[in-house]
Amino acid sequence: MKRLVILGSTGSIGTQTLEIVENYPDLYKVEGIAAQSSWQLLARQAVKFGVKYAAIGDEKHLPALTEALAGTGIQILSGSAGVTELASIDADVAVVALVGISGLLPTLRAIESGKTIALANKETLVVGGELVMKAAADRGLPILPIDSEHSAIFQCLNGENIREAARILLTSSGGPFRKLPEEELETKTAADALRHPTWNMGKKVTIDSSTMMNKGFEVIEACWLFGVHPSKIKVLVHPQSVVHSMVEFIDGSVIAQMSKPDMRIPIQYALTYPGRLPAAYVKTDFAQIGTLTFEEPRLDVFRCLQYAFDAIAEGGTMPAVLNGANEVAVEMFLQDKIRFMDIPRLIHKAMSTHRLIKNPALEDLLEADRFAREAAAV
């Protein structure tokens, strides 16, 4: 039986992970769960799955959570330190589904405590890819990707020699605005951006998809996960979201991983790897799908994707600046404080004023994040 810690249990990835656990109760046991603010759902999950630990990131909800779990014997942790502490409890796998840079320190702690990482938090590798991958390699621990695109690449490369891979073809739905002219994007609201045509995701990731920053983060993440130079990654817009990504090899062969867009598939694969389990809830009917199309991304309009390529090319602290500025800009956009196209403008402002540190320590990355947040704030 695999013992799990789920960091971000109340979000989209976390709830679907628990659904898989519920389907296979003899194979998985949840030891601890964490959420940022959804304390009511966290309390229900804690009781239902009989966890030993529950952590709430936003400490203002600690009294309510404590009252809700009174008499259960569940140990409650709080604050960012509490979530990081939860990552170190005795378990086999840490599912990291936190939002933003908040996933970095818990991931490092989970690795330090000897856990396999099932990673759904892009920003962990965007900000601290070198540190995280080195820590995992030093401990001989795998990092299993949950993102559908990286899970696809991982599966395409299974049994293959990465040195024989010519290109990684990273697919993108294109988001809700892929065909719109730039002038129309200026007037788009958060409500517009949250209407994703394919995936059901949290607000932050959905906005990132609409700007294509989500794909930019995935480019950086792929560089670290698979040890490839960014020049070997090609982004293709694929609105049907059936081909989750492909690998082209030096002999011209292309291997693709395909399925209906359902996050339970890559989540389950990360939990079952190196084996597979039945998933009767989703089948792919190619005759019904009919047509699969691919387009070049519009880098001149969706500049966030280009900024991500720029950030990984510069390396060092620049990806941390990219991420920190984006987190602030997205939050302001969700609060209707800025316009849609202000997101890339604020990111460019932070990146263009940052003094790069080429070989950063963890403290340098956290300082770069702080700088970016201040630079992007308006």
Residue boundaries of the structural domains of the chain: 2-145, 150-314
Structure tokens at 179: 């065909």
Specify burial of residue 186 (Cβ count, 10 A radius: 0-12, 13-18, 19+). Answer: exposed
pTM of the model: 0.94
Give pLDDT, residue 199. Answer: 66
**Residues written for the chain:** 378
How does pLDDT run across 246-274, given as a tens digit for each residue? 999 999 999 999 999 999 999 999 999 99
Only one residue has tokens 């991983």, namely 257
In whole angstroms, give the CA distance from residue 151 to residue 174.
Answer: 19
The topology (CATH level 3) of 2-145 is Rossmann fold (3.40.50)
Task: Note whether 8 and 35 are within 8 A (CB).
Answer: yes
In whole angstroms, give the CA distance from residue 204 to residue 196.
Answer: 12
What is the overall mean pLDDT for the chain? 96
In whole angstroms, give the CA distance from residue 182 to residue 199.
Answer: 23
Q: Kindly give the residue spans of alpha helices, DSSP state H, lying in 29-177.
A: 39-49, 62-68, 79-86, 104-112, 122-139, 148-157
In whole angstroms, give the CA distance from residue 343 to residue 175.
Answer: 15
How does pLDDT run across 278-302, given as a tens digit for each residue? 987 778 899 999 999 999 999 999 9
In whole angstroms, give the CA distance from residue 138 to residue 244.
Answer: 30
Does residue 197 carry a pLDDT above 80? no
Residue 308 pairs in a beta bridge with none
Does residue 195 carry a pLDDT above 80? yes
More reliable by pLDDT, 201 or 224: 224
Give CA separation, 289 vs 242, 257, 293, 370, in Å.
9, 16, 11, 45
Structure tokens at 13: 């990835």
Does residue 62 carry a pLDDT above 70? yes
How does pLDDT run across 130-168, given as a tens digit for each residue? 999 999 999 999 999 999 999 999 999 999 999 999 999
Does residue 321 carry a pLDDT above 90? yes
End-to-end alpha carbon distance in the chain:
50
